[in-house]
Amino acid sequence: MSALDLDPGVIGRARSAARAIADQVQTVVAPRTTVSVERTVLRLLGVDGVRKRDDVPLPNVVVDHVAKHAGLEGGIFRSLAAAMLATDSTAQQVAEAVAEDGLTLTHPADESAVRALGTQLGEKAATRIAQRRAERDQLLEEYGTGPDPLHYVIVASGNIYEDVTAACVAARQGADIIAVIRSTGQSLIDYVPYGPTTEGFGGTYATQANFQIMREALDEVGEELGRYIRLCNYCSGLCMPEIAAMGAIERLDVMLNDALYGILFRDINMVRTLCDQAFSRRINGRAGIIINTGEDNYLTTADAVEAAHTVVASQLINEQLALDAGLEPDQLGLGHAFEIDPALENGFLLELAQAQLVRQLFPESPIKYMPPTKHMTGNIFRGHIQDALFNLVGVWTGQGIQLLGMMTEAMHTPHIHDRYLSLENARYVMNTARDLGDEIQFKPDGVIQNRAQTVLLKAADLLEEVGEEGILASLSRGVFADVKRSEDGGRGLSGVLSKSTDYLNPIEEALA
Amino acid sequence: MTDARKVDLTRVRAYGDDLDDGQVQTSFSLPVPFGDEANEAAKQLAMKMGLEEPMIYHTHDLGEGFTFFIIYGTCQHSVDFTRIEVPKITAKKRSFYTINQAIEETFGRKLRIIGGCTGTDAHTVGIDAIMNMKGYAGEYGLERYPWIEAWNLGSQVSNERLLREAVSFQADAILVSQVVTQKGVHRNNLAELIDMAEAEQIRDKMLFIAGGPRVSHEMALELGFDAGFGPGTLAPDVANYVFDELHARMNESVENA
């Protein structure tokens, strides 16, 4: 028996409205590709590195080159394959020749040879991804993992080597997931920086080398502790699908990967993001990565009590879009947050209602629960208590991933002992209240039951409204997070292209 | 209860539960392995901070050669409270209704205020609390003020764009929010804005106001701003300051004319 008596009729109504919205998104996505999607194809074909004279990443060099000389509408692969076949070279060799030796790529002559090569290389890429996934499965089986909710902490020094130290300390203090926060602003650059990095602002650049360095360190400390330590990064921004490819190759386990976040919070063009999220999720799905969605952020700009239903509505949309991209329900870390004003009487009851509602709506998904941020102050002592209450709701309602709050939230990126204190807080609260949820039923017609029903009902209504109006128009109207975005505004629109009728993407085909 | 007359304001010391007991708490980590030597190192460091007889209340092995400490001790330092001077914003406290009325009566036009989070900062919590319709902690934001035209540019606005938009918006005041920082980048961003404004000769055409958890009025003045607002600021604080300052400047220019 579930703790909340939710009306299955309303749930069904909400889900089918979300389904219809996802169908609308498909009509936006299907006829288009983006420069970042094409760069991702190159990465999964093995292209990596930078042009020597200016450090421009080779995937950018080649995509920009083809856009200029042959056009990208048919996909990057055609032009690349023509050169690979003509000179019997690898994708990397062709990319280097374009960057360093002035090779010009043109349209291919022999279509069937290109298709055959595409199938072969697509399969190879899919196998490479599958191998890393199998490796994770084996390690998880060997070492196991902590109990739910998994303890997720961030490292954010700007220097990948300092991050490694912080991550290993956190793992020893009980962390299950280490997220390396990206340098602020990375989401808005239209390339992925290259190599290990030691300078960043508010975080550390997501580069493939940094992924690898952290992966190795976590494997090592995990082996010592006998617990698999998951690695998380940010598959968002203008390079969303490229980060997915890098994560698949370096065996990341969790990725922030939201369909709408970039539109709302980074002012990235909505068509660009919708196309990019679809391809990135296709890769994440195949890589066995758990995605985290960003609905928690809605509550940093909108009010957590008034806007609670927008979180649920967005989760249902994110769910349908993710299923479309081939993700399984157990890969969906749908996001929400403990952001109600602490001064509100009975606010805790509303938090509990929301967390339990989300838990019950997505029973197979590892819900990602975010800590208080908006109402954290410089009073670290009070902040520690807010985080304790958040931890109580997390264990009580059986959230899957608990992003642990730091008492110094909103003041500075975490210090080494901030993480320890936070992990100790979670361990204490969750251990002492482990099975509380199994013991509690909520009073029929009580505050918690009624709140959950109301939020669910409003979410269903909103979804129907959005479906009727159209998702793009709704985003323009500021339905989510009180943020308004226009269809042709935002960053990255120039990187969106209409596919030609013979568009070819061998990676997409292999992962479909 | 403390007998206030006993406090020597020229020699103020930290207070725990008895006047002049000098009690303070500090917590920190050291990059040395847990153990007796680590404790001794922490004590010595605490003594160098000016803590006499430091007591280690808690110590914890963080692993990887790090140790965490919570220490209490008797701080031997004192400060002369009688010689302290802090630059302050001396705006009147008027309510939402009074300030709007004052703008209408004094200027007879809407005051124009533009704002944003500059540089790579994506944390709009602060600027949103001041500017957005809804406001924060029960106080409406500037967008709600009938006699203020407010435009919040949001996150990650370049200084260049902020100035350009401010000029075309004919702003009376620019609000710059800086929340997340690392290695002092917020100071550099703020300083750069003023440099650019001076280069474009618009520094004196509008009020430059900085805000954020690490911003103080004193620091903002140092960086060349007209005012700085720290944590806990609400929309009326900013509106009142802008009104008073523009009013004062208007009177000045009338006197000079």
Which sequence spans correspond to the domains of chain B? Answer: 4-81, 96-256
In chain A, residues with a C-beta closer than 8 Å to the C-beta of B151 are none
**Euclidean distance between CA atoms A20 and A464, whole angstroms:** 9
> In 3D, which of A255, A178, A184, A245 has the Cα closest to residue A216?
A178
For residue A293, report the phi and psi dihedrals to the nearest 5 degrees: -95, 165
What sign does the CA torsion over A357, A362, A363, A368 have?
Answer: negative
pLDDT digits (tens, 9 = 90+) for A175-210: 999 999 998 778 888 999 999 999 988 789 999 999
pLDDT digits (tens, 9 = 90+) for A214-232: 999 999 999 999 999 999 9
In chain A, residues with a C-beta closer than 8 Å to the C-beta of B154 are 267
Q: Name residue B200's amino acid.
A: E
DSSP string, A500-512: PTT---HHHHHH-
Q: Are A481 and A297 in contact (CB under 8 A)?
A: yes
Longest dimension (CA), chain A: 74
pLDDT digits (tens, 9 = 90+) for B149-191: 999 988 788 899 999 999 999 999 999 998 766 566 778 889 9
Most A CBs within 10 Å, among B70, B180, B234, to test the A interface: B180
Strands (DSSP E) contained in A146-285 are 150-155, 177-180, 230-234, 254-256
ipTM field: 0.90
Q: Tell me, yes or no, if A228 is annotated catalytic.
A: no
- Output the six-digit token pair for B9: 């304001």
In chain A, residues with a C-beta closer than 8 Å to the C-beta of B159 are none
Q: A272 lies in which domain range?
A: 145-447
Q: Are A510 and A205 in contact (CB under 8 A)?
A: no
Residue A103 covered by a domain: no
Q: Are B132 and A300 in contact (CB under 8 A)?
A: no
For residue A173, the chain B residue with the least C-alpha distance is B62
Q: Are strands B148-152 and B111-117 parallel, antiparallel or unpaired?
A: parallel
What sign does the CA torsion over A44, A74, A497, A29 have?
Answer: negative
pLDDT digits (tens, 9 = 90+) for A233-292: 999 999 999 999 999 999 999 999 998 888 888 889 999 999 999 999 999 999 999 999
> In 3D, which of B209, B26, B183, B129 has the Cα closest to residue A377?
B129
Residue A256 covered by a domain: yes
Within A302-446, residue ranges assigned H as helices are 308-324, 347-361, 380-396, 416-432, 436-439
Mean pLDDT of B119-140: 79
> Whole-prediction pTM value?
0.88
A121 versus B95: the higher-pLDDT residue is A121
What fold does the segment set B96-256 form as a domain?
Rossmann fold (3.40.50)
Residue A409 covered by a domain: yes
Give the pLDDT score at B257.
63
Q: Are A456 and A10 in contact (CB under 8 A)?
A: yes
Residue A488 covered by a domain: no
Q: Does the domain at residues B4-81 carry the CATH identifier 3.30.30.60?
A: yes
Find the CATH number of the domain harbouring A363: 3.20.20.440
B64/A165 CB distance under 8 A: yes
Instruction: With a cut of 80, say whether residue B80 has pLDDT above it.
Output: yes
Q: Tell me, yes or no, if B134 is annotated catalytic.
A: yes
**Euclidean distance between CA atoms B210 and B191, whole angstroms:** 11
Query: Considering its fold, how many domains does chain A have in total?
Result: 1
* Nearest CB to A420 within list B62, B156, B185: B62
**Euclidean distance between CA atoms A107 and A88, whole angstroms:** 16
pLDDT digits (tens, 9 = 90+) for A424-446: 999 999 999 999 999 999 999 99
* Nearest CB to A417 within list B29, B122, B179: B29
Q: Are B46 and B26 in contact (CB under 8 A)?
A: yes
Exposure b/e, A182-213, CB count within 10 A at least 16 = b? bbbbbbbebbbbbeebeebbbbbbbbbbbbbb
A291 Ramachandran zone, left/alpha/beta (phi>0; psi -120 to 50): beta
In chain A, residues with a C-beta closer than 8 Å to the C-beta of B180 are 184, 201-202, 413
